[in-house]
Structure 1
Amino acid sequence: MKFDPLANPPFARFIACLLLIVSVFSVAAEAQEKPNFIVIFTDDQGYNDLGCFGSETIATPNIDRMASEGRKYTSFYVPCSVCSPSRAALLTGCYPKRVGMHKHVLFPLSDHGLHADEHTIADHLKSIGYATACVGKWHLGHQPETLPRAQGFDSYFGIPYSNDMNHPDNKGKLKAPSDELWLDQKTAVTGWKTPLLQNEEIVELPVDQRTITRRYTDKAIDFVTSNKDKPFFLYLPHSMPHIPLYVPEDVYDPNPKNAYKCVIEHIDAEVGRLMQTVRDLGLSENTYVIYTSDNGPWLQFKHHGGSAGPLRAGKGTTFEGGQRVPCVMWAPGRIPAGTSTDAFTSTMDLLPTIAAITNTELPENRIDGFDISSTFNSDDTPRDEMLFYSANGRLQGIRSGDMKYLEITPRKNKKNPNPKTRTHLFNLADDLGEQQNLFKSEPETVATLKARMLEADEEITTNARPVWRK
């Protein structure tokens, strides 16, 4: 007589339990192979605007804790010093020019955006089973064909462009920033017609900018909590501290001189709430969190803008203050605590690094980023150069190793109809503040760097891919 194990109830229950245990361990093993990723991307935050990066006026205990438990990146760059190009680079691993997003920022009347055929971090992770969400400022196109759900994200909640822009034509807005706006926080809803989107629909017009940082965090926490049992990718690009500056009433400091400080400290508190959620859910050992900024500080707005500290200039320039940004990477057990590296790295490197961490292949589309996972434990980096483009997409320079070459031609205007090109060569190892111009004393270095700059730009120009157009 043939033995039927399922006809024996105790044995059948044993087999069922065994299969359940195997299944649980299989799911756990898969989760370990697929760590979670959170990218927090602030807007216009300067290199010096965190305690762990040297600020003596802004208190950021939560981000400082991330640094003490993780790793500071002190030579971390964005490939452009304004919003839209910088965001395109982070998500695609490409120079903005390669994906057609290099010609300054998008506005409410812009008729183009990041093409959905581009392979983003969200596309990559979604293809291998990740839950994906974008919560915050998008600024890569506000048409349905270019919004986050066309770019690999399961959901979107946020402002589609900068918080100083008005729906639908950018008209009728207040002039920002000003001490008067900070003193009258009601202008957050009376002075702007900035929309808040849920997926592709406007759900609030105007959005109450006083609460937006906190509401982004609420949505982020909801997403992390809902997806705690499966791998997830959260992209959290905060709208602040881009002007105009607003905060909730319970953290408001009425002194206009403290406006920027107040906003950064509020962001830090909200980062703390999100990080505590990660810890409370037991996700610390399986989550990478990256905190950085989309470009340097908007210095012309003084106490409504930030500080680049030891770096030269700020937003809108190709000097270090425009494109070298604070960066903290946190992954307990994977990235050593309380460490710092000066490894030459960029937001373009995040996509290939995430692909390497998840042991997955990228598509054949050419990108400009590198796998920088080696920098988690050393200063060795595969990146040895980076091109510098102006806010309007004009080629202006290159960094190769520690040497940086710039040639900057000011815009023509009535006062300066024939502007002269200003040429610079800096050794960043000895001159982080870019004060000692070596252009005349090292002509061979200048010639070598200029030739390489033009060669690399020619390849990008030849192989550039189109944006989506309406």
Structure 2
Amino acid sequence: MMDLMCIIALFALITAQCAPASPPNFVLLFADDLGYGDLGCFGHPSSLTPNLNRLAAQGLRFTDFYVTSPVCSPSRAALLTGRYQTRSGIYPGVFYPGSRGGLPLNETTIAEVLKSQGYTTAMVGKWHLGVGLNSTYLPTRQGFDKYLGIPYSHDQGPCQNLTCFPPDVKCFGLCDQGVVTVPLMFNEIIEQQPADFLQLEKTYSKFASQFINVAVQNKSPFFLYYPSHHTHYPQYAGADYAGKSPRGPFGDALMEFDGTVGQILKTLEETGVINNTLIFFTGDNGPELMRKSRGGNAGLMKCGKGTTYEGGMREPAIAYWPGLIQPGVTRALASSLDILPTFAKLAGAPLPKVQLDGVDMTDILFNKGPSQRQTIFYYPVDPSEKYSVFAVRWKNFKAHYYTRGAAHSESTPDNDCSLLSFFKHHDPPLLFNLEADPSENYNLDGTEWDPVRKEIQTIKEQFEASMVFGESEISKGIDSALEPCCTPSCTPKPQCCHCTSAL
């Protein structure tokens, strides 16, 4: 009888035939530069990630989950809008502290979709979708009620004199020079500059817990977006995690991220809303292999960050909702593009009236059913209308029309990953069966595979005909006067931009 009741309740929720007594909450966890093989639950032997392992063991683990870009800003834009970054103009590359552009305000984010249904929304962590003049592009202008974080990558500011591990271990490397140190912002105000890496994750964890507590007290459904800085270079960790991982600094940083996930889970349990909350975890792009042991690991996947090989764009992903998502593994094809339409469906929210590239994943989540998605399109770091997509996955097959290595993926024995592996056009395209050969080692070059190539070519042409490139926001350039500074009238910049935290 209980099973029947659960099925009835679930059916009502998913089909929206009757309004649920309490709309579901959403927690979206987004790691940074995390490889397919970096988590313990995805096979890494020395990564200590007990909380993510718990989500994987008690939730649904995806084996074939993709992001839309092998670098940060475009991947984040697609996640939040359900649209390829080419449509919104988030290309080529990533935003910088003084970038003039940002995620266009006419794009509709997940936060804005959910706010239309009365949700309270918050973001904590890494934004990297622009700051702009007078905070034009910050999360508070994109549907988030509250924001605490660094507005771009924490390596986009000098770090050689900053402490990354206690008691006073300086950050590994130099990071970006000639710009302001990274600021910690609350809403649109700089609270601390430079950010204190040793306390940063504790500050984030406290903010996330307080947000959940207040939302529950106010009986408001909520959306919490936590895009972590971990495990991006330079790795850092506070006293609770420094030196605790057998994997070294990268492992310590990953443990700290996992610890914040654990605190979020604890808060959801203590507030009694864990059973009415969908938690979704994935990462923004593949690992930065150039960092060697201080970078991530793509596991079986070829190459990493900056490339359109599997290691650059296939990510670990987990969906967790106690009582509604049954534990298991799915091989269904899915993408970060699919998160917005899925959350919208579950919240009963209308979809944005624009061309969406995402599809609803509820049948995968609740029935372990097939995906509505049969294709993945792989854009390079610098997409153009001339070359368009570099590769296409259709069902189990992937065709590479163009390949190129990347500086981010240097240092591996595979020469295809290297920056010296220059742009190559493949005619006929390279073809791999990713079910049998996830490492993309064995090109299917026989004539018997011509029908597959023909089918993929047709799909590619149809997709490209539907793609309208938006004006490039990143090509609008950089103005150093736009770099966030807690004392904007001070001199000389950037050295004078310094303030201590009130948090």
1:351-390 pair list within 5 angstroms: 351-376=340-365, 377-390=367-380
**1:139-218 aligned within 5 A:** 139-143=128-132, 144-166=135-157, 172=158, 174=160, 185-187=168-170, 193-218=181-206
CA displacement at 1:184 relative to structure 2: 7.9
Residues 435 and 219 (structure 1 numbering): CA distance in 2 closer, same or farther, change over 3 Å? same
Q: Distance in 1 between matches of 2:313 and 2:320?
A: 22
Map of 1:443 onto structure 2: 450
Which TM-score applies when normalising by structure 2? Answer: 0.80
Shift of 1:403: 0.9
The change in CA–CA distance for 1:33 and 1:366 in structure 2 (over 3 A counts) is farther
Residue deviations 1:191-232 (CA, integer Å, cap 9, x gap):
771111111121111001222222211111110111012100
In the alignment, is the contact (CA less than 8 A) between 1:183 and 1:256 conserved in 2? no
1:19-44 residue CA offsets vs partner (Å, 9 max, x unmatched) = xxxxxxxxxx9774410000010101
1:417–1:212 distance in 2 versus 1, CA, 3 Å: closer
Counterpart contact for 1:101–1:113, Cα < 8 Å = yes
Q: State the partner residue of 2:390.
A: 396
Shift in alpha-carbon separation, 1:418–1:363, aligned structure 2, 3 A:
closer
Query: Are positions 1:453 and 2:442 aligned together?
Result: no
Equivalent position amino acid for 2:82 in 1: G
Alpha-carbon distance in structure 1 between the residues aligned to 2:430 and 2:336: 25
Q: Is the 8 A contact 2:307 2:405 kept in 1?
A: no
Match of 2:323 in 1: 333
Q: CA deviation at 1:405?
A: 0.8
Aligned-residue offset at 1:344: 0.3
**What is aligned with 2:27?**
38
SS at match of 1:251: coil
Give the superposed CA RMSD: 2.8
Q: How does 1:49-198 map to 2 (within 5 A)?
A: 49-143=38-132, 144-166=135-157, 172=158, 174=160, 185-187=168-170, 193-198=181-186
For structure 1, which segment, 117-126 or 55-64, has the greater mean C-alpha deviation from structure 2 after superposition?
55-64
Q: Is 1:433 paired with 2:424?
A: no
State the AA in 2 paired with 1:268.
D
Contact 1:182 1:254 in 2 (8 A): no
Query: For 1:156 and 1:418, how far apart are their aligned partners in 2?
Result: 41
AA at the equivalent of 1:317: T
- 2:217 equivalent to 1:223: no
Alignment match of 1:314 (pick from 301, 304, 311)? 304
**Structure 1 residue aligned with 2:333:** 344
**How far apart in 1 are the matches of 2:371 and 2:246?**
42
Once the 2 structures are TM-superposed, how far is the Cα of residue 190 of structure 1 from its aligned partner? 12
Post-superposition offset of 1:174: 4.0
Distance across 2 between alignment mates of 1:362 and 1:387: 22
CA distance in 2, matches of 1:45, 1:405: 24
Name the SS for the 1:274 alignment partner.
Answer: helix
How many angstroms apart in 2 are the aligned matches of 1:183 and 1:280? 31
Of all paired residues, the percent bearing the same amino acid is 36
Partner-residue secondary structure (3-state), 1:461: coil
Amino acid at match of 2:62: Y
From the superposition, tell whether residues 326 and 185 of structure 1 become closer, same or farther in structure 2 (CA, over 3 Å).
Answer: farther
Number of equivalences: 431
Q: 1:262 to 1:106 in 2, by over 3 A?
A: same
Deviations 1:323-349 (A, max 9, x none): 11111111112211x211011001100
Give the conservation status (yes or no) of the 8 Å contact 2:173–2:234. Answer: no
1:138-191 CA-to-partner distances (Å, cap 9, x unmatched) read 00001211110111010111001001012xxxxx55499xxx976984535997
Aligned to 2:268: 278
Q: Which amino acid aligns with 1:436?
A: Y
* Contact 1:216/1:238 (<8 A) preserved: no
Contact 1:75/1:343, CA 8 A, preserved across alignment: yes
Deviations 1:425-451 (A, max 9, x none): 111121111111114542342243234
433-442 vs 133-142, which moves further: 433-442
1:71–1:340 contact (8 Å) kept in structure 2:
yes
Question: Which of 278, 281, 293 in structure 2 is aligned with 1:291?
Answer: 281
Mapped to 2, the partners of 1:43 and 1:410 lie a distance apart of 22
